[in-house]
Amino acid sequence: MNLDKPLGSVIQGSLSSGLEVRLHPDVLVEDMRVGKFLVVQGMRSRFFCMLTDVCLGTSSQRILANPPHPNDDFLREVLAGSGTYGTVSLSPMLMFTPQDPSVAFRATTPDGNGNGKSPLASFQAQSSESMELLPVKTVPSHFSQVYEASDRDFRAVFGWEDDPQRRNFAIGQPLDMEVPVCIDLDRFIERSNGVFGKSGTGKSFLTRLLLSGIIRKQAAVNLIFDMHSEYGWEAVSEGKQFSTVKGLRQLFPGQVQIYTLDPESTRRRGVRDAQELYLSYDQIEVEDIMLVRQELNLSEASLENSIILRNEFGKSWITQLLSMTNEEIQEFCEEKRGNKSSIMALQRKLLRLDELKYMRSACPHNYVNQILQSLEAGKHVVVEFGSQSNMLSYMLATNVISRRIHASYVRKAEQFLQSKNPSDRPRPLVITIEEAHRFLDTATVRQTIFGIIAREMRKYFVTLLVVDQRPSGIDNEVMSQVGTRITALLNDDKDIEAIFTGVSGGQSLRSVLSKLDSKQQALILGHAVPMPVVIRTRPYDQNFYAEIGDPAWEEMPDEEVFAAAEAAKADLGF
């Protein structure tokens, strides 16, 4: 690839709809693929662009009416570039204008030289540290030349992983280059984020990549609600042959703790040092029951009567309700003006909670506080559900645990704001949830703690990482607050539309998203990257384990690893 060789010329365009570029005759249109990163060299500025569409054009309708014979290569070559040509549509994302006139870009002659300099020479003289990339507020002039993006272009825009001034993490590579594309983890954790894609596109692998980067770079602590037991110890790799990939606990044994709501399932999978986790009825509030009203098939009248019960019995309202006889319910309704049939229906349907393995009438030990202690000590927590992965179980447990942890973070954040003492500053917390549209849809978003967290934008040092295959099911207000969106292939038009909620210029990226491969490709846009980019995601394999994992633990036998893990838990008082 000759980076100094222009690919085409800008022939028309606008700031709102993008640029149209006519390819030079010697450029093969098949090499121009949607999502490609290209650079337009203007007279004063350099424009970083994404290719959003590819078209074929002709100079005369007569050519279309009488096309060359398939075997007539001579006529096809004669027409190429003059009678027939290719055009591409570019969406400018960023621009760079040198402040020093002595390094201003020089116009070039047709042979690619101007005053003895290459058109790229001025840019190559700039250091990435001194570059200020700005939003695009103008367009290049007619016939500005378009070039392949170089390694230096990617480094200037996306940084590099070993940058000492930033917590950059390489999430993948461009589709046609071997250069890392990095996200800024400090900006990533400033807002809630999302990983989207239809089933089978590798959302879990993308999520594990991101979580591994956060752990390795110590950008935040993670609380991961692992619905299908894919993040903690190990997971099954997709493919024709059965194989497994390492989970976060295997990569970072000294930094990750596993809590399980189904100890038997966890032990069957060979996880020997997971902590058991139980919840009690007095930890469940009416708002938690409202969240799972569909799973429990509760009527509006039953929910209204649950408020009456809560006001009368306080935290023990569920325990009291489950122990009440028909006569006691009748007496209660006469005194408190409750509805007997609604309360009896509520009692009958709440009996389903007894089927959840992690529910107890009372817990002598506060397991949520234990999780908080782990997070405060800088440990990353994975909560496994095992066989308790149905939506009732998952939604109830995640809401109960997250609400209490968020309340603790609010208190700590308020204390820090009052004292301004750096030692009081809470560690940033990222909560990972799957099937996020169940928590954040328009009907229930006001009843869940996750809707509150998504709208707070890290005011209390807590953000979300939502993983979902139906982003159209998430409330538009919440979706507009999602800072960084990492999206694999989506086919549904509503889901594609939802990805660009609150994103200016999103229409030009729709075609890019719909043309992704079904595996190992994703579109990244938002707060943690300077501009949208299509990547080939970083392989989650042995090389990744060696680069990202804890090397001190890799060399230890399993017996020593588990012994050290037990010692670490003892240090935390478990």
- What is the full DSSP assignment across 435-494? STHHHHSTTTTTTSHHHHHHHHTTTTSEEEEEEES-GGGS-HHHHHT--EEEE-----HH
The residue among 376, 350, 503 whose CA lies nearest residue 429 is 376
Domain membership flag for residue 460: yes
Q: What is the pLDDT of residues 34-70, one digit of tens each?
A: 888 899 999 888 999 989 899 988 887 777 777 777 7
Asked if 271 and 305 sit in the same domain, the reply is no
C-alpha to C-alpha distance for 528 and 507, rounded to whole angstroms: 20
Q: What is the pLDDT of residue 388?
A: 80
Distance, in Å, from the CA atom of 81 to the CA atom of 58, rounded to the nearest integer, reads 9
State how far the Cα of 234 lies from the Cα of 106, in Å rounded to an integer: 55
Q: Is residue 308 domain-resident? A: yes
Q: Are residues 383 and 325 in the same domain?
A: no
Structure tokens at 244: 């497994």
Q: Which of 48-57, 230-239, 355-364, 486-495 has the lowest mean pLDDT?
A: 230-239
Cβ-based neighbour number of residue 89 at 10 Å:
20
Contacts of 335 (CB under 8 A, 6+ apart): none
CB proximity list for 459: less than 8 A, separation 6 or greater: 413
133-137, 467-471, 503-507: which has the minimum mean pLDDT? 503-507
Q: Is 571 inside a domain boundary? A: no
The percentage of residues in the chain with a pLDDT greater than 70, rounded to a whole number, is 87
Q: Is the sign of the CA dihedral 372, 373, 378, 384 positive or negative?
A: negative
Question: How many beta carbons lie within 10 A of that of residue 264, not counting itself?
Answer: 10
Helix axes 326-336 and 300-313, enclosed angle (nearest 10): 80
DSSP classification of residue 107: P
- What local confidence, expressed as pLDDT, does residue 145 receive? 93
400 closest CA partner among 266, 281, 264: 281
Which pLDDT belongs to residue 74? 67
Q: Which of 356, 380, 406 is the last residue of a domain?
A: 356
27 and 81 in a single domain? The answer is yes
Residue 211 has pLDDT above 90, yes or no: yes
What angle do the packed helices 449-456 and 391-419 form, to 10 degrees? 40
Q: State the DSSP H helix or E strand holding residue 152, giving kind and residue range, or none if neither.
A: helix 151-158
* Residue 341, in any domain of the structure: yes
Same domain, 411 and 466: yes
Residue 273 binned pLDDT confidence (cut-offs 50, 70, 90): confident
Same structural domain for residues 402 and 525? yes
Any domain includes 493: yes
Is the separation of the CB atoms in 191 and 502 below 8 Å? Answer: no
DSSP 7-40: -EEEEEEETTTEEEEEEPTTS-GGG--TT-EEEE
Domain extent, residue 143, equals 8-159
Report the pLDDT value the prediction gives residue 134, as an integer from 0 to 100: 86
The whole-number pLDDT of residue 562 equals: 53
Do the domain assignments include residue 325? yes
In the chain, the number of structural domains is 3
Considering the domain architecture, whether residues 18 and 79 belong to the same structural domain is answered as yes
Q: Are residues 467 and 394 in the same domain?
A: yes
pLDDT of 78 higher than 70: no
Q: Is residue 501 domain-shared with residue 416, that is, in the same domain? A: yes
Angstrom distance (rounded) from CA 416 to CA 354: 40
Rg over alpha carbons for the chain, rounded to the nearest Å, is 28
